[in-house]
């Protein structure tokens, strides 16, 4: 292969690689919701050979939550639970926690309730209630007593606003996990082994992500009631849609309102009235009757608004002026009747001519020729030609171009066009020689009939 061919192949390969990479990046879903995300991971001896796949699953899912307000905690359990990473939103600490998580050596029993208990303990320490998500992963069946303890701990976590999701791999009991999770839809079975864990990341993200993408309107009128529309995803992911609550924070005071309509991609809520210009209102939403809230960066601001009366009056005045101008312009075309004087009567026919002898009329033959008649013809005199003085050639002075010369030229052209159109219409206007009458057409007809009789 020649050198040019190698360069062509290299450039083509690079182009297709960049295209595939950009397409893959554009299609990767993410979540912009602000959550406290707790990973409760099984590190019992049964997962000792598959811990790398568990680590990749946690790392991939963590990177999909992209909100700057998102916080993460890593908890592992076997015979007892251990917090690998305490709840934090520091990205540097999260990356450091992932390194510690990758170095975990699995061993022991499967006591899931111990891991959920550690997550609940961290929720109790938080001064501000926030929306929490617990993702619990296990690969085996729970003993009946351990199953009951795990279910109780999950219920305890839900009282603090947490949503519980369960991931089962290999030899798990789906019914047990359905009791622990909020609903059966929040159980993600992975029957293809740990290698298939990466295939459920998008499903977990779709089921767990509740995010507010837009709030409409962003500006409202003072002293007027209004409804707001929160658009996003996952508003029906709670146990019951009756638990959805809109919260509005105005000047430090919180107003809780039940929404009038709840769909998966939007929520419609009546909002409180704002009474001063510039007053702002923060919008929050809860899926668990106000136990915890999903925050957003959207605020609503009050501003002065006109009721539209002034604008309507201005438009009415302009419309009236336009109507008057059109009536004045087209009045001679539609509403003026021009009646001209009747044509003059035909003159009477001339009397008949009676011819006599020698080609003359009888009256002419009776005339006698005048005696000694002299006919004089006046000679024309030639007028002397007067030489014209040579005219001096005209001198043209080129006017100096100003900055407004092009504008004046365009305005003059526009005025000439309007003037020409006006002259065309004015030709149809009645002149002073015409008798203009605004009577009905019946009078015109009767007048014409009288002329015909004459």
Note whether residue 284 is domain-resident.
yes
280, 303, 326: which is the final residue of a domain? 303
CATH number (domain holding residue 253) = 2.60.40.10
- Say how far apart CA 169 and CA 110 lie, in whole Å: 13
51 and 197 share a domain?
yes
- Cα–Cα distance, 280 to 300 (Å, whole number): 5
Of the residues 272, 303, 334, the one at which a domain ends: 303
Both ends of the chain: CA-CA distance in Å?
111
Q: Does residue 217 share a domain with residue 171?
A: no
Statement to judge: residues 204 and 233 lie in one domain? no
With 0-12 / 13-18 / 19 or more C-beta atoms within 10 angstroms meaning exposed / middle / buried, residue 141 is middle
Q: Which residue has the higher pLDDT, 452 or 320?
A: 320
CATH number at residue 182: 3.40.50.410
Nearest one of 341, 335, 338 to 450, comparing CA atoms: 341
| 63 and 133 both lie in a single domain | yes
Are 76 and 133 in a shared domain?
yes
Whether residue 7 is contained in a domain is answered as no
Tell me if 432 is assigned to some domain.
no
Q: How far is 297 from 218, CA to CA, in rounded Å?
A: 12
Does one domain contain both 95 and 182?
yes
| Whether residues 265 and 244 fall in one domain | yes
Q: Is residue 135 part of a domain?
A: yes
Stretch 270-298: mean pLDDT: 83
Residues 239 and 151 reside in one and the same domain? no
- The pTM assigned to this predicted structure is 0.59
Share of the chain above pLDDT 70, in %: 70
376 is in an annotated binding site: no
Where a domain ends, among 208, 231, 253?
208
**Are residues 219 and 138 both part of a single domain?**
no
Q: How many domains would you assign to the chain? A: 2
pLDDT higher than 80, residue 38: yes
Query: Residue 92's pLDDT band (boundaries 50, 70, 90)?
Result: very high
Assess if residue 94 is contained within a domain: yes
Q: Is the link from the previous residue into 310 a cis peptide, with omega within 30 of 0?
A: no
Q: Is the dihedral of CA 282, 286, 290, 293 positive or negative?
A: negative
Q: Give the residue numbers spanning the domain of 239.
A: 211-303
Q: What is the pLDDT of residue 438?
A: 46
Residue 259 has pLDDT above 50, yes or no: yes
Determine, yes or no, domain membership for 146: yes
* Winning range, highest mean pLDDT, from 39-53, 232-246, 389-403: 39-53
pLDDT score for 58: 92
* 311 vs 44: which has the higher pLDDT: 44
Reading the block at residue 257, the tokens are 């309102």
My answer on whether 226 and 188 are in the same domain is no
* Cβ neighbours for 48, distance < 8 A, ≥ 6 positions apart: 105, 106, 107
Task: Verify that 43 and 165 share a domain, yes or no.
Answer: yes
Residue 51: inside a domain: yes
Query: Which range, of 150-164, 365-379, 392-406, averages the lowest pLDDT?
Result: 365-379
Mean pLDDT of the chain: 78
Contact 302, 221 (CB under 8 A): yes
Q: List Cα–Cα distances, 376 to 149, 340, 369, 379, 391, in angstroms.
A: 154, 50, 17, 9, 44
**Centroid of chain to Cα 420:** 45
Judge if 52 and 134 occupy the same domain.
Answer: yes
Is 46 annotated among the ligand-binding residues?
yes
pLDDT tier at 363, thresholds 50, 70, 90: low
Was 110 annotated as part of a binding site? yes
pLDDT digits (tens, 9 = 90+) for 140-171: 889 999 999 999 999 999 988 889 999 998 88
């Amino acid at each position: 292969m020649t050198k040019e061919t190698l360069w062509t192949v290299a450039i083509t390969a690079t182009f297709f690689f960049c295209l595939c990479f950009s397409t893959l990046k554009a299609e990767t879903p993410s979540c912009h919701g602000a959550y406290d995300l707790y990973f409760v991971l099984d590190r019992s001896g049964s997962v000792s050979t598959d811990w790398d796949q568990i680590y990749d699953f946690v790392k991939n899912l963590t990177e999909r939550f992209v909100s700057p307000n998102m916080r993460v905690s890593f908890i592992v359990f076997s015979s007892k639970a251990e917090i690998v990473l305490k709840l934090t939103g520091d990205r540097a600490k999260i990356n450091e926690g992932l390194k510690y998580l990758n170095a975990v050596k699995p061993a022991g029993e499967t006591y899931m309730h111990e891991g959920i208990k550690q997550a609940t303990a961290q929720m109790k320490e938080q001064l501000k209630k926030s929306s929490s998500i617990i993702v619990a992963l296990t690969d085996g069946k729970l003993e009946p007593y351990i199953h009951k303890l795990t279910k109780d701990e999950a219920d305890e976590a839900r009282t603090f606003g947490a949503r519980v999701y369960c991931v089962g791999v290999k030899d798990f009991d789906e019914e047990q996990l359905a009791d622990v999770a909020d609903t059966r839809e929040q159980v993600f079975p992975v029957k293809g082994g740990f290698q298939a864990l990466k295939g459920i990341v998008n499903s977990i993200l779709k089921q767990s992500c509740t995010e507010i993408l837009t709030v409409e309107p962003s500006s409202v009128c003072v002293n007027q009631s209004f409804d707001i529309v929160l658009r996003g995803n996952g508003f029906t992911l709670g146990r019951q849609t009756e638990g959805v609550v809109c919260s509005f924070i105005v000047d430090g005071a919180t107003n809780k309102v039940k929404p009038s309509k709840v769909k998966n991609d939007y929520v419609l809520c009546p909002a409180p009235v704002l009474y001063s210009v510039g007053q702002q209102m923060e919008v929050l939403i809860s899926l668990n009757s106000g136990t915890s809230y999903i925050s957003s960066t959207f605020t609503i601001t009050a501003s002065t608004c006109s009721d539209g009366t002034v604008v309507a009056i201005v438009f009415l005045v302009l419309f009236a002026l336009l109507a008057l101008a059109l009536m004045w312009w087209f009045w001679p075309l539609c509403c003026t009747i021009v009646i001209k004087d009747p044509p003059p009567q035909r003159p009477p026919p001339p009397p008949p001519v009676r011819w006599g002898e020698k080609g003359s009329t009888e009256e002419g033959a009776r005339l006698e020729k005048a005696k000694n008649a002299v006919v004089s013809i006046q000679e024309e005199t030639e007028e002397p030609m007067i030489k014209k003085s040579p005219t001096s050639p005209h001198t043209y002075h080129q006017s100096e171009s100003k900055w407004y010369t092009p504008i004046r030229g365009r305005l003059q052209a526009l005025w000439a066009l309007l003037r020409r159109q006006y002259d065309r219409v004015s030709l149809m206007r009645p002149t002073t020689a015409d008798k203009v009458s605004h009577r009905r057409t019946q009078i015109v007809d009767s007048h014409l009939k009288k002329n015909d009789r004459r």
